[in-house]
Structure 1
Amino acid sequence: MPLATLYSFRRCPYAMRARLGIVLSGAQVMLREIILKHKPEAMLAASPKGTVPVLITQNGQVIDESLDIMIWALRKNDPQNILLSQLPALQATAMALIKHNDDTFKPWLDKYKYADRYPEYSQDYYRKQGEIFISQLESLLTKHHHLLGHTASIADYAIYPFVRQFAHVDKNGFNTAPYPNVQRWLTDHLISDPFMDIMKKYPTWLESEQQFLFGTGIQD
């Protein structure tokens, strides 16, 4: 049976999120690494909005939201209970935290990273707005090792690619900021096997006309 196809871009945090879901589920897909400036017609035909990630399942269903791709993969196989399926109240909390990341933190992150495009305020102003969310994460991480408990959940995996991007705008500033638990949490994820797996480099599909097996492939 043919595998699902995933259009991805290595450094995009949304695409990282989707790849994490696939790796953590033990699934495999055919990966098509793209160049955002030269989006393939096949991807645009499947998802006209033109953003990554885009997953085309074996039966032709198109899933073009990163969190939905995570859920698609983990519903097939979730040995670590990352989805918190048996804990509906905690799962709702996780989804609310992810929504806050996507709807509130990410716009401030974009303005902080690309402050020259948003001259209405200074980069320092945008950083401080983003740090409101970082402070919320710091508070959660004072209670336990991960955002919602002693083991990592979908909240951790769906959010840390964006915190990574925030940290990389000014690494020295982030590393000396008063967020020791966020710094420890982020570092733990960035040296983890799942992150190493999703950040392997592949030739672009546009240049090579090749696609590559991606994922651990341990799922039946």
Structure 2
Amino acid sequence: MSTSPVPILYSFRRCPYAMRARLALATSGLRCELREVVLRDKPAALLEASPKGTVPVLVLPAGQVIDQSLDIMHWALDRHDPEGWLAPERESPTAMAELIAQCDGAFKSDLDRYKYPDRYPGTDPLAHRAAGAAYLAALETRLAVSPHLFGRRPTLADMAIAPFVRQFAQTDAAWFGAQAWSGLARWLDAFVKSPLFSLIMGKYPAWTPGTPGIPFPRN
């Protein structure tokens, strides 16, 4: 059982899954203890909480462990959703879930093989770039008619998908910038320049076992 009076979040700053968790926790206003980890030297406490050894992992004070990024997002927003991320202005929560599932499935697979081809012998990174671009084109169709994926304000889908689009765009910024995706480019630029993104991307030293983590969010 956790001895912390607030939830403990094991995180890694650059991981898009961990970004999701921090985005939702920061927006909900729920306080937690952030423990930044080094993935090549995972602390025993992280592995004890979640043997799969990936981030994010949220350990609640009663000992419950939530180790999937979307589950952490829902846990936080179910308790406090001041921006209405779970209530899209257009379409339905089911439609949001389907768009996120496409991101986490085929798009994430293409992203990995485009960004890290050395990890997948025999892969053709440009073929996976083209496949990932088809998903981005579908996002562009939405963003051509509204500032966000489901209307005039951000939703769970925007915040769950944007960290992965950012990673895709950074793989070859010149190529990405040359595509006819004005809506997508505007949306991504607004995301990375937002105060919320700046808040969740603060740099912290790696957590040392036996010491307290960082109070999060830091306003």
**Which of the five TM-score ranges fits, normalised by the shorter chain?**
over 0.9
CA contact (8 A) 2:113 2:123 kept: no
Give, as a single letter, the amino acid of the residue that structure 1 aligns with 2:186. Answer: R
Residues 22-171 of structure 1: pairs in structure 2 closer than 5 A:
22-84=25-87, 90-171=92-173
Instruction: Give distance in 2, aligned partners of 1:81 and 1:216.
Output: 21
Root mean square deviation, CA, Å: 1.8
CA distance in 2, matches of 1:178, 1:115: 25
Listed one character per residue, the Cα deviations across residues 150-194 of structure 1 (whole Å, up to 9, x for unaligned) are: 111000000000000000101111111111111100000000011
2:177 to 171, 175, 178: 175
Distance 1:208 1:129, change over 3 A: farther
Partners of 1:208 and 1:177 lie apart in 2 by 49
Q: Structure 1 runs of 4+ off > 3 angstroms?
A: 206-210
Aligned sequence identity (%)? 46
Partner of 2:18: 15
> What is the CA-CA distance between 1:116 and the residue it aligns to?
2.4
Aligned to 1:3: 6
Q: 1:206, CA displacement in angstroms? A: 3.5
CA–CA distance in 2 between the matches of 1:53 and 1:208?
20
Where 1:131 maps in the other structure, the secondary structure is: helix
TM-score between the two structures when normalised by the length of structure 2:
0.93
Residue 126 of structure 1, CA deviation: 1.3
What do residues 10-63 of structure 1 show as CA deviations (whole Å, max 9, x unaligned)? 000000000000011111100000000011111101101111000001211100
Aligned length: 216
In structure 2, list runs of 5 or more residues that go unmatched. Answer: none
Paired amino acid for 1:69: I
Q: Report the AA paired with residue 27 of structure 1.
A: L
SS at match of 2:92: helix
Q: CA deviation at 1:107?
A: 0.7
Whole-Å Cα distance in 2 between the matches of residues 15 and 212 of structure 1?
Answer: 15
Task: Report the residue type matching 1:107 in the other structure.
Answer: S
Instruction: Supply the distance in 1 between the matched residues of 2:173 and 2:156 (Cα, whole angstroms).
Output: 25
**In the TM superposition, what is the alpha-carbon distance from 1:207 to its structure 2 partner?**
8.0
Counterpart-to-counterpart distance in 2, 1:16 and 1:211: 17
Counterparts of 1:94 and 1:121 in 2: how far apart (Å)? 30
The TM-score with structure 1 as length reference comes to: 0.93
1:214 positional shift: 0.8
